[in-house]
Amino acid sequence: MTYTTSAMEATVRFDSTASSPRHGLALVYDLEGFSKFFNQPDVQDYVPQFINTVSAAVSVTLFGGDAYWLGDENKMYKPLSIRPLHEKFLGDGALYVWLDTPDKKITTPVIANLCNRLWTLKTNFSKVVAASFDDVPVVDVPRRIRFGLARGTIFELTRRSEQEKEYIGFCLNLASRLQKYCPDLGFIASARLRLPAQKLTQYGYTRVVATEIKGFPREIVVVDSDEYDHLDTHVRDALFEPLEDR
């Protein structure tokens, strides 16, 4: 196949060298059933508003604000001490990337807080959906949100002739695959977050082995203990194994 010069100039191109590797976090969320929701009449009249409602709830989770889905007096979230430096809309969800900086490290307490907030939003997502009903006049709206969270080395790419950045790294791929791995859970984090066992026990999480993640064989993951125990036996046996003491 032959490409013309103009076609080559029109493609996405990056500087020839990526940044030095940096330690970071990647979060991916996805709205279950979004394609069916989108394939309805007059979607332009209500899909943007639904996306905005969901995005606002995720933003409160990350940046602080009124977490109305908590349903109690203590529903005001404080901002996390770290902010994502990259956000990217993915059509039926979004990607967020955090990187360590010399003065802002991704600490264990921050990661534990983030996990708890994401799990809480996932668990109470029906209240976020209900908040959209005045603006969305259809029945088939996405009823579940799924989160995947991973930690690892991230590289920064710079588009040629632009300041816009993109990010690559195994943890971005892993976060994307975690969010869709077991829909019955809805929140799965990689054990590469390195949360201490005491923190996992304190907040009701457990580590198990995910056996069927494409490209990540036998990945240790963090899941909610109660939700894992209540999985259908066939689902649990097909996707997970207990983590034996090492």
Could you state, in order of their start, the residue ranges of all structural domains in the chain? Answer: 17-183
Count of CB atoms situated within 10 Å of the CB of 63 = 13
Contact yes or no for 86/96 (Cβ under 8 A): yes
The pLDDT of 24-50, averaged and rounded, is: 78
- Banded model confidence at residue 5, pLDDT cuts 50, 70, 90: very low
The pLDDT value given to residue 47: 78
* Helix pair 108-123, 47-63: axis angle to 10 deg: 150
Q: How far apart are the first and last CA of the chain?
A: 53
Mean pLDDT of 150-162: 81
- Tell whether the model's pLDDT for residue 246 goes beyond 60: no
Please compute the mean of the pLDDT values over residues 80-104 and round it to a whole number: 90
Reduced to 3 states, what is the DSSP secondary structure of residue 142?
A: coil
- pLDDT band of residue 138 (cuts 50, 70, 90) is low
| pLDDT score of 131 more than 80 | yes
In degrees and rounded to multiples of 5, residue 104 shows phi and psi of -135, 105
Q: What does the alpha-carbon distance between residue 94 and residue 145 come to, in Å, rounded to a whole number?
A: 11
Task: Kindly report the pTM of this predicted structure.
Answer: 0.87
pLDDT for position 1: 47
Written as one letter, the residue type at 166 is: E
Answer for the pair 208, 228: CB distance below 8 angstroms, yes or no.
yes
58-68 pLDDT, tens digit each: 999 999 999 99
CATH for 17-183 is 3.30.70.1230
